[in-house]
Amino acid sequence: MNSKLKTYNNKRNFNKTTEPKGKISKTKNKLHFCVQHHIAKKDHYDLRLESNGVLLSWAIPKGLSYNTKDKRLAVQVENHPLSYRRYEGTIPKGEYGAGTVMLWDEGYYSPLENINKTYKKGYIKFKLNGKRLKGTWTLIKYKDNNWLIIKEKDEYANITNKKYTRSIKTNRTMKEIENNKSHEKTSKKDGIVCGITITNPNKIIYKKPNITKLDIAMYYHKNASKILPHIKNRLLTTIRSPEGENSKKFFKKHFETNPYLGKKTITNKNGTKENYYYITDEKGLIYEVQNNSYEFHVGNSLITDINHPDTMIFDLDPDETINLKKIRECVTDLQNILKKLKLKSYIKTSGGKGYHIIVKLENKITWNKLKQISKKIAEIMETTYPDKYTTNIRKNKRKNKIFIDWLRNTKGSTTVAPYSLRIRKNAPISYPISWNNVNKIKPKEITLTNIQNYKPAKL
Ligand code: MN
């Protein structure tokens, strides 16, 4: 099991290092590469090329050269997991590779010949299409783990190497990476995230793989800048699950007094006043995690203008009787109709059985109007494709049609937010994807443990 990453895993103590555990991934059509600047015992650059679900890796003391006359040493090291390709951080003293790792370049590469064959023979000729590095190089093995890396003649040959000293991922220098990590490490030890003490930090919330309460707090901390634009200043409903994925869950939507949450009083249909809540910043987000809220659902309007929604949502998350192929077809049909109506939409995985399609409205409208429009769109789907879709929830099961669920567009209803975790098996995330990836990415595919392998679509 994981034999290609056995050395990688054996060399590391994952209770101490922040590096990812070694698991073999699926290699898709495009092959990734990365270069990490690594200051350890010696200063070097690690070149990693994706192949058969792992990253083949070489430590290159001087880095890659554009000079076709240079023959630089590249020492092959153990395969790294694919999840390593975006890794950046510090490896603590006494651990293997102790020092600082900066993501220096990333992108895709293409082997110019069948890599499985030439690798066995001891060479790889490849073309890099990185953000910094471009062009063709050849790696040639000459003795044991020692290889040479040589620039091939092409349009990039003999250009001057630029001296990049900052991370391609975070724009930090080596020093800044070091300082940040030591800060994060101490916080982690105390269970303090964003100034909020996480009690029971090691409590296991998800099993297989084990994900603790602190892991969840760290996930929301790291992704705060991505999730906050979608959840702050909106009425929240969170799902709390103090004992983890398989135990009792409950909804929280009412305000409770504390320094981190905002209060919004709303008069309900029957005339009674109720206090709901919202968050405005990362402290509120982490505070909710501390209180065992792991899943975040939001409404379609901002608390500053509660009667005028700015989002429209279609929930294409039907039950198991509808297969994924049909759901994907439905998503595409709906996208086409939205396009014709000149409505900008984006799509995210639900983290459950399907996808959510979200339309950002340029002009705010009333709830009544939103209801009318979304219903109308569902009806257009029904009349355009009468064999496939229905707007009548009672007809869907009998006739094997998909119900176009526009009912999330009423006041008070909420939908799971982009980047929110779901409290379900494997810790899936509701993740924004590009329309091109609808047929490639499954609704539950992106999880807390593999999220680093996916690029979010721009929302
Ligand atoms: Mn290294």
pLDDT digits (tens, 9 = 90+) for 278-298: 999 999 999 999 999 999 999
Question: How far away, in angstroms, is 60 Cα from ligand 1 center?
Answer: 9
Q: Is residue 453 very low, low, confident or very high in pLDDT (cuts 50, 70, 90)?
A: confident
* pLDDT for the residue numbered 11: 95
Q: Which helix (H) or strand (E) holds 220?
A: helix 213-222
Whole-number Å distance, alpha carbon 78 to ligand 1 midpoint, is: 10
Q: CA distances (Å), 282 to each of 199, 221, 224, 237, in order?
A: 17, 7, 6, 16
Is pLDDT above 50 for 305?
A: yes
Contact in structure between 427 and 314 (CB atoms under 8 Å): no
d(CA 256, CA 156): 61
Contacts from 271-278 at CB under 8 Å and sequence distance 24+? 276/235, 276/236, 277/235, 277/236, 277/253, 278/232, 278/233, 278/234, 278/235, 278/236, 278/303
The answer, as to whether pTM is greater than 0.85, is no
- Give the distance (Å) from ligand 1 centre to CA of residue 46: 5
- Residue 398 confidence (pLDDT): 55
C-alpha closest to that of 300 among 288, 316, 319, 315: 315
Task: Provide the mean pLDDT of the chain.
Answer: 92
How is residue 351 annotated by DSSP?
S
Q: Which residues pair with 139 in a beta bridge?
A: 124, 149
Kindly give the distance from the C-alpha atom of residue 326 to the centroid of ligand 1, in angstroms, as a whole number: 46
CA of 256 to the centre of ligand 1 (A): 49
Q: Which residue's entry shows tokens 């009318």?
A: 372
Which pLDDT does position 189 carry in this prediction? Answer: 59
Tens-place pLDDT, residues 149-165? 999 999 999 988 888 99
Q: How far is the CA of 14 from the centre of ligand 1 (A)?
A: 17
Q: Output the CA 75–ligand 1 centroid distance in Å.
A: 10
* In the chain, % of residues over pLDDT 90: 76
Which residue in 67, 77, 101, 73 sits closest to 87, CA to CA?
Answer: 101
State residue 186's pLDDT score: 46
Tens digit of each residue's pLDDT (9 = 90 or more) over 240-256 = 999 988 889 999 999 98
Q: How far is the CA of 345 from the centre of ligand 1 (A)?
A: 42
Distance CA 351, CA 245 (A): 14
> Coil, helix or strand for 315?
strand
Q: How far is the CA of 456 from the centre of ligand 1 (A)?
A: 28
| Res. 381 pLDDT band, cuts 50 70 90 | very high
Q: What is the pLDDT of residue 357?
A: 96
Residue 99 CA to ligand 1 centre (angstroms):
9
* Domains defined along the chain, listed by start: 3-185 (no CATH), 191-305 (3.90.920.10), 311-410+428-453 (3.90.920.10)
Q: Kindly give, in sequence order, each residue whose CB lies less than 8 Å from that of residue 448, ignoring residues fewer than 6 positions away.
A: 206, 211, 215, 216, 219, 421, 427, 429
- Report how far ligand 1's centroid is from the alpha carbon of 115 (Å): 23
For residue 377, is pLDDT > 90? yes
Nearest to 53 by CA among 4, 8, 119: 4
Residue 305: φ, ψ to 5°: -150, 65
Q: How far is the CA of 39 from the centre of ligand 1 (A)?
A: 8
Q: Which ranges of 341-394 would DSSP assign to H, the alpha helix?
A: 367-384
CB atoms under 10 Å from CB of 413, counted, come to 14
Residue 188 has pLDDT above 60, yes or no: no
